[in-house]
């Protein structure tokens, strides 16, 4: 069974930093791209970042580019997101998700999600 478990959320002041982790199990970690998606309180889903299976290709939403860093560690099947220069607008539940890529790379979707970890940025 695929399992994704986020941790590391919490309360931080504007300008501060936080590191989120997503522990995974039940699948071959290195064979899948992984992503982070966030949801501000009472709002919709916002894609944040994606990393390919090898970890050498990363993508970011414009809203976090230059401030957040996605990474992965194959030795313990963990996905991470380093959040720097945090703003109030970054307050959200952060979900990690597995990316399924099929049909020769044409069909891509998030097929498994964690339960999320809450990040609150406030003074």
Partner 1 sequence: DVRMTQSPSSLSASVGDRVTITCRASRSISSYLNWYQQKPGKAPQLLMYAASTLQSGVPSRFSGSGSGTNFTLTISSLQPEDFATYYCQQSYSTLIFTFGPGTTVDIK
Q: Which residues bind partner 1 (CB under 8 A)?
A: 33, 35, 37, 44-47, 50, 52, 57, 59, 62, 95, 99-100, 103, 105-111, 113-116
- Least separation in angstroms between residue 33's CB and partner 1 is 6
CB of 61 to partner 1, least distance (A): 8
Q: For the stretch 24-41, what's the b/e string if a residue is b when 16 or more beta carbons lie within 10 angstroms of its beta carbon? A: beebebeebbbbbbbeee
Helix (H) or strand (E) run with residue 41 in it: none
Residue 84 CA to residue 118 CA, distance in Å, equals 16
> Who contacts 62 (Cβ-Cβ below 8 Å, separation ≥6)?
none
Q: Which is nearer to partner 1, 16 or 63 (CB)?
A: 63
Q: Which is nearer to partner 1, 115 or 122 (CB)?
A: 115
Residue 16 vs 74, nearer CB to partner 1: 74
């Amino acid at each position: 069974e695929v399992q994704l478990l986020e941790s590391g959320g919490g309360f931080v002041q504007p300008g501060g930093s936080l590191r989120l982790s997503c522990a995974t199990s039940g699948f071959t970690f290195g064979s899948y791209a992984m992503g982070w998606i966030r949801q501000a309180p009472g709002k919709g889903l916002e894609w944040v970042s994606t990393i390919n299976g090898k970890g050498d290709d990363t993508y970011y939403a414009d809203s976090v580019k230059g401030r957040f860093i996605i990474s992965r560690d194959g030795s313990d099947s963990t996905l991470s997101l380093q959040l720097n220069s945090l703003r109030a607008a970054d307050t959200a539940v952060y979900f990690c998700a597995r990316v399924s890529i099929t049909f020769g790379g044409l069909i891509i979707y998030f097929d498994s999600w964690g339960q999320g970890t809450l990040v609150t940025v406030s003074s």
